[in-house]
Structure 1
Amino acid sequence: MFSIFKKKVLGDFSFLQTDLHNHILPGVDDGAKSINDSIELLQQMQQLGYKKIICTPHILGNIYPNNPTTILPALEKVKRVLNENNIAMQVEAAAEYMADENFVEAVEKKKPFLCFGEKKFILIEMSYLAPSPYLEQCVFQLILDGYQPVLAHPERYNYYHKQMNKYEQWKEKGCWLQLNALSLTGYYGKHVKQTAEKLLTAQLIDLLGTDLHHAQHMAALHYLCTTPYYKMLSQYPHFKNATI
């Protein structure tokens, strides 16, 4: 059913142990479309040295109206197929929440969130068009409620590229920052890549994620291992992935 041939691996990410941002669960968002896609991606993640995968499907209004009733069954399906094929991979699920009106309402009503780790990490993203007017109040309230907010791929928000102080301000507010590894390959464009470098150089990044959706992303991840950025990532002293 699944490939038994291993792709040649030019580097590995065992120094991270955990990937905490990806879209590997099948059929729930714009990531893996089928269980076959999911298992193939997980096998390659394993070959890259990852021990644990925390799947984070989008929760985004009417576009991806996910919740535990859509996410957790998909997780169980993946676990079952991994077990049936004797693939030893630890897989968990949380979510990537868009900081929109729905999220604000959930925060205000103290609804339970799909989070990960003992610190109750909650992954949050904003629109790429404009900063969310709600995020600051959400971060403040989530911290009061015992969560640890994590801002997903801050380097991809173009409106911050000339305002590096914004990243420092989020850190001061208690929000962790999660970089996409693919940003360093130029996958999202030159300016995103440059900002990713600046954030790493300033040691503002706490977590490294793949944001893996499909085979093209996986190919870019393998390519990253051939670049000087791979060594930069492997020697970065502040990634906390391994503690999650």
Structure 2
Amino acid sequence: MIDIHNHLLINTDDGPTSKTEARDLLRQAEGQGITDVMITPHHHAGFHYTPKGKVFSKIETLHGIIEAEGLSVNVHHGQEIRINEHIMEELRDGLSTTLNDTDYILIELPFDALPPYYEAVLDELIDNGYTPIIAHPERCRPIAKDPAILHTLVQKGVITQVTAGSITGDFGPELQKTGLKMIEDNLIHVVASDAHHAENRPFRMPAALDVVRSEFGEVQAEAMQENAWKIFNDEKITSMVAAKEGH
């Protein structure tokens, strides 16, 4: 199982604050059958500024923990980039990075209001050969209110990622309802953990996939896992599963 969105770097953003907390997260990932984790610290989000070089230096500590603990999980670099007008520039300058040097780039939209330039930035990324992945669109209120916004982006070729905790109901019934409706409407490609802490914000990947399996069938759950593999292996995502079984 592949996780494409989480916050495991120590003392970097709002993730773990110690080696012990990071170790617990890595153990949890392994215990849930996750083999590869794309580390995605916040970049350009509030006070969180985590350029590519910092990601590479901080990830070495995680490699050390994995080796010392004899864990079978692997970690890879990435960022969760809050949408801004300088993403292409920072990619060229080596300040921003894609997920493990693939063509996929994880983009976060603001929760309360979409900036007027958001669609132009996504278009620019696509035009330059990148595939934007919108992180947790179920948490973006303008999109939750008007799913046609997300439909337009998906039609352009944008990929979407729902958070495991939203699907399991950990973040409340409204986010769960919104996330499940987005899956039913064929607007979600992949589920990811957005893990921050082993107890407060855990991985929850198998539990979320169980909900997807229960609500939409095995084919949908397998498609989401396959899409995560495709992202990890820099392969094009070409299909989605549209409706509940029996509909």
TM over 0.5: yes
Cα displacement (A) at 1:21 = 0.3
Q: Distance in 1 between matches of 2:33 and 2:216?
A: 14
Q: Distance in 2 between matches of 1:61 and 1:196?
A: 23
Aligned Cα root-mean-square deviation (Å): 2.3
Q: How does 1:66-215 map to 2 (within 5 A)?
A: 66-100=50-84, 104-108=85-89, 110-112=92-94, 113-116=96-99, 119-214=102-197, 215=199
Cα displacement (A) at 1:153 = 0.3
TM-score, normalised on structure 2? Answer: 0.82
Aligned counterpart in structure 2 of residue 241 of structure 1, from 217, 221, 228? 228
- Secondary structure of 1:25's match? coil
The size of the alignment, in residue pairs, is 224
Task: Tell me which protein shows more helix as a share of its residues.
Answer: 2
1:1-30 residue CA offsets vs partner (Å, 9 max, x unmatched): xxxxxxxxxxxxxxxx10000001111100
1:99-132 residue CA offsets vs partner (Å, 9 max, x unmatched): 13xxx12325643431125742100011111112
Distance 1:106 1:163, change over 3 A: closer
Contact 2:77 2:100 in 1 (8 A): no
Distance 1:233 1:60, change over 3 A: farther
Q: Distance in 2 between matches of 1:201 and 1:74?
A: 38
Any stretches of 5+ residues in structure 1 without a counterpart? 1-16
- Secondary structure of 2:162's match? strand
Contact 1:119 1:148 in 2 (8 A): no
AA of the residue aligned to 2:13: D
- Secondary structure of 1:208's match? strand
Q: Distance in 1 between matches of 2:108 and 2:145?
A: 19
- Secondary structure of 1:42's match? helix
Cα displacement (A) at 1:204 = 1.8
Q: Residue in 2 aligned with 1:28?
A: 12
Q: Distance in 2 between matches of 1:183 and 1:62?
A: 22
Cα displacement (A) at 1:233 = 7.2
Contact 1:184 1:196 in 2 (8 A): yes
- Secondary structure of 1:137's match? helix
Distance 1:40 1:233, change over 3 A: farther
Q: Distance in 2 between matches of 1:126 and 1:116?
A: 17
Any stretches of 5+ residues in structure 2 without a counterpart? 233-247
Contact 2:167 2:208 in 1 (8 A): no
Q: Distance in 1 between matches of 2:188 and 2:17?
A: 30
Q: Distance in 2 between matches of 1:81 and 1:145?
A: 37
AA of the residue aligned to 2:93: K
Q: Distance in 2 between matches of 1:233 and 1:18?
A: 20
AA of the residue aligned to 2:110: S
